[in-house]
Amino acid sequence: MGTLIKKITLLLTLILLFSACDVFEFRGFVMPYETVDQRFEQSMAWNAEHPYKSISVPQDRYDLFVMGDTHVGDTVNLNLFLDAAIAAEAAGAVMAGDITTGNDEDFYIFERQLPPAGVLPTFPIAGNHDLYFHGWEQYYELFGSSTYLFTVHTPNDSDLYICLDNGAATMGSKQLAWLKETLENERAQYRNCVLFTHTNFFRIRRMTATNPFVEELQYLTELCLRHDVNMVISGHDHERNTGSLGNTEFLILDALQDKEKDPSYLILNVDSDTLSYKFVDL
């Protein structure tokens, strides 16, 4: 009973806090306006007009930088991450959701920090905070799709990376069908396959926000096993964790936001015969 009272008190406090804004909509505060199927359809429309990125690197070894949960506003850690990726001549940088706090201006602040694609290709996806209020409208205006793939080609091999929208926990039936079809048709052509999501598949601590459906998790893990997915990399939990199921490794990122006690990001190291990673603490 005491825990319930604390939660109700916290919720009422947040409502009063956000009610000080010029415009406050309770529905937008607790859930997105668009369904995951609606976002998926918009993402597919964007993909139809913007070809998937294909990156070529001159050597068999390359790095991908990966971060999650910057929650911009502040951009100190974000800029450290981007500067390090550029200095390392990374093949690209993936942003695994919650790039903003959900405020309109934060999307533009984040977008202004990104380097030109010719300097560093960047690959954002939407997290639950990016969907609050009318956040998807700002995300889509600036970044387009949140469900897409990109490929990296070395002199001797090619790797497949799939970015998925589960910012509201579920991927929805249409996105799941797209993922299944993509794995069935594309996976065998590539050496490695890595999935990026915002919401982590498995809970390492109790959470009340954006919990995946058990049946959907079972379906996703079966897809990973059947199609030899090497890794699934997620944010959301703000607490680093690694584990494996079959041959698939599941990685959860620390948050990169400036106020985080232990911020970090991940470097995915890809070589001719290995796929490894390391966490970099700030």
Are 63 and 23 in a shared domain?
A: no
Identify whether residues 40 and 10 lie together within a single domain: no
**Nearest-10 Cα torsion for 127, 128, 130, 135:** 140
Tokens of 141: 């205006």
Q: Is the pLDDT of residue 11 over 70?
A: no
Whether the Cβ atoms of residue 32 and residue 168 lie closer than 8 Å to each other:
yes
The CATH code of the domain that includes 190 is 3.60.21.10
Q: What is the pLDDT of residues 26-45, one digit of tens each?
A: 434 445 578 999 999 999 99
Q: Which residue has the tokens 């007009």?
A: 49
Provide the pLDDT for residue 208.
59
Same domain, 138 and 257: yes
Over residues 82-103, mean pLDDT = 95
Residue 7: pLDDT over 80: no
Same domain, yes or no: 119 and 5? no
Same domain, 102 and 65: yes
193: β partners = 160
Can you give the pLDDT at residue 102? Answer: 80
Structure tokens at 122: 């960047």
b/e string for 246-256 if b means 16 or more Cβ within 10 A? eebbbbbbbbb
pLDDT digits (tens, 9 = 90+) for 187-241: 999 999 999 999 998 876 666 566 667 888 899 999 999 999 999 999 999 999 9
Domain identity same for 147 and 19: no
- Claim to verify: residue 231 and residue 134 sit in the same structural domain: yes
Q: Are residues 22 and 106 in the same domain?
A: no
DSSP category for residue 51: P
pLDDT of residue 95: 97
Please determine, for residue 91, whether its predicted confidence score (pLDDT) is greater than 60: yes
Give the count of domains, the chain.
Answer: 2
22 plus 90 within the same structural domain: no
What residues make up the domain containing 15? 1-30
Q: Are residues 139 and 198 in the same domain?
A: yes
Asked if 195 and 276 sit in the same domain, the reply is yes
Q: What is the mean pLDDT of residues 263-267?
A: 97
For residues 73 and 109, membership in a common domain is answered with yes
pLDDT at 278 over 50: yes
For residue 277, which of 192, 217, 158 has the smallest C-alpha distance?
A: 192
Sheet containing strand 92-96, edge to edge, reads: 122-125, 92-96, 62-67, 264-270, 275-281
Joined tokens for residue 124? 């954002």
- Quote the pTM value: 0.88
Q: Residue 18 pLDDT more than 60?
A: no
Residue 250 phi/psi, 5-degree rounding, is: -115, 115
Percentage of the chain modeled with pLDDT above 90:
77
The pLDDT value given to residue 31: 55
Q: What does the pLDDT look like over 102-161, one tens digit per residue?
A: 888 999 999 999 999 999 999 999 999 999 888 999 999 999 999 999 999 999 999 999
